[in-house]
Amino acid sequence: MPGHVACTAPAERDVLQTGFNKRDRILKAILDPEATTREKLEQARAAAPQLASLSTEQKNEILREMAAALESRTAEILAANQKDLTESNLEGPLRDRLLLTCERIDAIVQGLRDVANLPDPVGKTVAEWDRPNGLKIRKMTVPLGVLGVIFESRPNVTVDAVALAIKSGNAIVLRGGKEAAHSNRSLVAILTSVRGLPEGAIRLLDSSSRASVQELIAARGLVDVIIPRGGSGLIEHVVTNSKVPVIETGAGNCHIFVDNSADFDMAERIILNAKTQRPSVCNAAEKVLIHHAIAEEFTPRIVKKLIECGVEVRADAEATRLSSGLPVQGATEKDWGEEYLCLCLAIRIVAGVEEAIAHINHYSTKHSEVIVTSDEERARRFLRGIDSAAVYWNASTRFSDGSEFGFGAEMGISTQKLHCRGPFALAELTSTKYEVFGTGQIR
């Protein structure tokens, strides 16, 4: 049962650990900080063809063994994570992003099993046709090759990324944040210890300096795609400097527009969930726009609820006036484009759906936006007019997530338009090739 290892007796854990001693000695070379980034990249490149040739059942069995290994070594993972928490001295949302618990490890383990149960994205026939000269052409899905994933202080990303890479037949090079160094080393050691995994399939780079990031993003020919996950500074650096193609995962300045036909109770539930359920993540709401026709009634109501939930509220002049007697701060121009990643939210009064669309398209990071309305025509105008990766009608932004979309896990949420957009996972970690069958044709 998920989470049962947390209650395993120490003696039983010792027996489980003994079984890994031999493998851990082998892993020493894999995780050796003295190994160069170049060597690790070359190892991953050598492993890529082996991963691409694994059968669906072989990949699924590897993922199931990874899940079982993480379950059996939960105490070890938590101990490593505690070292990171102690040494990093992070507080608030940043600490929450780093924190692992039994429940979060259970969710990580379930994510591995969910990915194992998903259809294999590799080897699918996208299209096939015959030419007049007798050639038969088939377009097939194939792995990308070697993925380079750069991320910050969320160790769950390590496992999610590995699960998706293995299922899609890709080798993976991980460069996590220094705050999660102990957690990531522990997780990679466990994941790499399972049977059937080609040597070099998973490589973890040194996180103590930026040199490994620079080498990774310059490794054209060894790495096929870079996926940065983190704050806007990290993403901008990678996009600007990488010589390897990048799938850009974006910051989340997410908006909720409350139309004048909205159900107030529904709007309140959606706003509070989107802002407070986990404020440190990119799909948390950061801005609320309110239709002027309901502003006098709805603004003080939602501001009061937000403050009761511990949210710092910033507001434009009209929303500030309507919140008289409540502790709100005046919003500045900087606020409208900022991703807070904490219990802070800004409110603006707008004339209607067209002004809401214009405001969002100007300030948004193109992540996730919501309209709360009972008017279908306005909802459809909003859905079509907003230029973001995910647009919702009467639902929380917190659903912008690979697992919530049914992908098992996600590699990230892309806010660009090539080669994928929105939560992306297995299908987006493949490319295509053409198989052409002839009978001696020449041109």
pLDDT digits (tens, 9 = 90+) for 5-35: 443 433 434 434 444 444 454 455 455 556 7
Say which amino acid occupies 113: R
Residue 200 confidence (pLDDT): 97
57 with 153, same domain: the answer is yes
Question: Is 366 found in the same domain as 334?
Answer: yes
Helix (H) or strand (E) holding 130: strand 125-130
Average pLDDT along the chain: 92
- Beta bridge pairs of residue 330: 315
Alpha carbon 338 to its chain's center:
20
User: What is residue 153's predicted lDDT score, i.e. its pLDDT?
Assistant: 84
List, edge to edge, every strand of the sheet that includes 368-372. Answer: 329-330, 312-315, 344-350, 285-291, 254-258, 368-372, 390-393
Which of 200, 216, 241 is a domain's end point? 241
The pLDDT of residue 158 is above 80: yes
CA 271 to chain centre: 22
Same domain (yes/no): 41, 81: yes
One domain, residues 179 and 212: yes
pLDDT tens per residue, range 235-271: 899 999 999 999 988 789 999 999 999 999 999 999 9
Of the ranges 12-16, 78-82, 300-304, 416-420, which one carries the lowest mean pLDDT score?
12-16
The confidence score (pLDDT) of residue 31 equals 56
Give yes or no: residues 74 and 164 share one domain: yes
For residue 217, give the nearest of 147, 142, 145, 143 by alpha carbon: 147
CATH assignment of the domain containing 393? 3.40.309.10
What is the arithmetic mean of pLDDT over 53-64? 98
- Hunting for tokens 């020919």 — which residue is that? 221
Q: Are 396 and 102 in contact (CB under 8 A)?
A: no
In a domain, 420, yes or no: no
The answer as to whether 441 is a domain residue is no
Q: Is 433 exposed, middle or buried (0-12, 13-18, 19+ CB in 10 A)?
A: exposed
* Structural domains counted in the chain: 2
- Residue 69 in contact with residue 197, Cβ under 8 Å? no
List pLDDT tens digits, range 141-153. 999 999 999 998 8
Q: Tell me: pLDDT of 106 over 80.
A: yes
For residue 435, give the 3-state DSSP assignment: strand
The DSSP code for 374 is: S
Residue 2 pLDDT > 50: no
CA–CA distance, 160 with 166 (Å, rounded to integer):
10
In a domain, 382, yes or no: yes
Give the integer Cα–Cα distance in Å for 187 and 178: 14
C-alpha pair distances (Å), 82 with each of 14, 98, 154: 20, 10, 14
Whether residue 273 is found in the same domain as residue 151: no
Q: How far apart are CA 230 and CA 155, in angstroms?
A: 12
> Is 264 found in the same domain as 182?
no
Of the chain, the percentage scoring pLDDT greater than 90 comes to 84
> What is the CA angle 275-396-280, rounded to 5?
35
Of 199, 216, 241, which residue is a domain's last?
241
436: in domain: no
Confidence of residue 403 (pLDDT cuts 50, 70, 90): confident
Q: What integer pLDDT is reported at residue 6 of this predicted model?
A: 41
In a domain, 356, yes or no: yes
Q: What CATH number does the domain containing 103 carry?
A: 3.40.605.10
Residue 207: helix, strand or coil by DSSP?
coil
Peptide bond into 419 cis (omega under 30): yes
- Chain-centre distance for alpha carbon 12: 35
| Alpha carbon 171 to chain centroid, angstroms | 18
pLDDT recorded at residue 72 = 97
Is residue 419 situated within a structural domain?
Answer: no
Q: Is residue 307 part of a domain?
A: yes
Are 177 and 279 in the same domain? Answer: no
Residue 10 lies in a domain: yes
110-131 residues labelled b (16+ CB within 10 A) or e (exposed): ebbbbbbebebbbeeeeeeeee
pLDDT confidence of residue 67: 98
Q: Identify whether residues 272 and 396 lie together within a single domain.
A: yes
Q: Say whether both 223 and 309 belong to one domain.
A: no
Identify whether residues 203 and 261 lie together within a single domain: no
Contact call for residues 134 and 109 (beta carbons, < 8 A): no
At which residue do the structure tokens 């992003």 appear? 97
> What proportion of the chain, given as a percentage, has pLDDT over 70?
92
- pLDDT value for 248: 87
Residue with tokens 């492993």: 47
For 391, the domain range is: 254-402
pLDDT tops 80 at residue 70 = yes
* 205-238 confidence digits (pLDDT tens): 999 989 999 999 999 999 999 999 988 888 899 9
DSSP letter at 285 equals E
> Do 21 and 56 belong to one domain?
yes
Cα–Cα nearest to 172, from 185, 160, 162: 162
Burial of 148 (0-12, 13-18, 19+ CB in 10 A): buried
271 φ, ψ (degrees, to nearest 5):
-65, -45
Q: Does residue 40 register a pLDDT over 50?
A: yes
Of 298, 359, 361, whose CA–CA distance to 333 is shortest? Answer: 359
